Amino acid sequence: MEKQDKKPKRWSLEDIRDYLSQHDIRSSVYRLKIFEYLINDRTHPTAEEIYKHLKKELPAISPGTVYNTLRLFLEKKIVQLVNVEKNQFRFDATLSWHGHLKCLGCGRVFDLHIENLKLSGLEGFEIFEKHLDLKGLCPECLKRKNI
Amino acid sequence: MEKQDKKPKRWSLEDIRDYLSQHDIRSSVYRLKIFEYLINDRTHPTAEEIYKHLKKELPAISPGTVYNTLRLFLEKKIVQLVNVEKNQFRFDATLSWHGHLKCLGCGRVFDLHIENLKLSGLEGFEIFEKHLDLKGLCPECLKRKNI
DNA sequence: TATAAAATTATATTGATTATAAAATTATAA
DNA sequence: TTATAATTTTATAATCAATATAATTTTATA
Ligand SMILES: [Mn+2]
Ligand SMILES: [Mn+2]
Ligand SMILES: [Zn+2]
Ligand SMILES: [Zn+2]
């Protein structure tokens, strides 16, 4: 039998409301929807991408709200920054230790499972954050290139 | 006998002139000095830090030259970006595969030796760049904090 | 309902980086 | 050497994601 990909559970708005509350964040329609997009779609979007995505469903939303909310989420540590972009922040609501690969062809940001990482020269240091970021091409873009 | 730290060789201006030439980069006083600072001091400076450092010795230098030169060096792939800063680029002329730790106390960026890294889920991908970036506190800053 | 607190909006500001065009320097040809 | 072209550097303006500000709207609570 083939190993099956674990299908990540989709968070309901109620799940998110509880989660925000547990982290001392008051809920609002926008906050719920921004977090929902991050946690369920998992595309590591920029603030602008989140804004454009939500504007379809909630046309009254303003970019400031997205920026404010993301800053709040960072402060409360329920999202992390992804460093694959030169001039823009990308956001991830998945906090477990994993890496990222940005495909330079299609722009998608893929999650990487890190099986093993051993560093030396860190004796006496205290670590708060770790980021592993790759750039490359995904299989689809490689195939397209070689046609 | 204790394992001894390898002392990195210091590059002469002639070394650098040859190196730039090998990479199709014409030399100039500023280009030589910018690369010299990067390769010999190894502090992973920002453009602004390079500008301030060189201005002491070469007061006529302009920030534009530093930005232009760093962009050229990136294009010719003789420097790489270090992603430890939120709003600023840091630069490294050491191209071998290694990681970085930014101390949030003193701001220094340390090099890390990566003994082992094993990723999964990259079958069929092509990788061009890898970055490993940590944030934390260095031993000196930890000691200072605990006094 | 009245009042206070918080969230959202529109707008202006910031600041690192890039773009542009003129001036200075360097390389090459005559 | 002198002329000419190519390159580098400079001063300046422009860009643009992110932040700050203050007014407005919404929500919570008395
Ligand atoms: Mn991720
Ligand atoms: Mn380094
Ligand atoms: Zn792709
Ligand atoms: Zn330190």
pLDDT of residue A4: 61
pLDDT of residue B108: 98
pLDDT of residue B135: 98
Query: How far apart are alpha carbons A64 and A141 in whole angstroms?
Result: 34
Nearest to A137 among B125, B133, B137 (CB): B125
Percent of chain B with pLDDT over 70: 97
Cross-chain Cβ contact A128/B104 below 8 Å: yes
Nearest to A32 by CA among A60, A2, A54, A62: A54
- pLDDT, average across residues A8-34: 95
- Domain A99-146, CATH: 3.30.1490.190
Using a CB-CB distance cutoff of 8 angstroms, which residues of chain A are in contact with residue B111? 121
Topology of the domain comprising A13-92: Arc Repressor Mutant, subunit A (1.10.10)
pLDDT in tens, A33-60: 999 999 999 999 999 999 999 999 999 9
- Integer Rg of chain B from CA: 17
Query: How far apart are alpha carbons A134 and B129 in whole angstroms?
Result: 5
Secondary structure (H, E, C), A24-50: CCCCCHHHHHHHHHHHHHCCCCEHHHH
pLDDT in tens, B13-36: 999 999 999 999 999 999 999 999
Nearest residue for C27, CA–C1': B26
- Give the residues across from B134 on adjacent strands: A130, B101
Q: Measured in angstroms, what separates residue A33's CA from nucleotide C21's C1'?
A: 47
pLDDT bracket for residue B2 (50, 70, 90): low
Alpha helices, H only, chain B: 13-22, 29-36, 47-57, 63-75, 139-146
Sorted by where each begins, the domain ranges of chain A are 13-92, 99-146
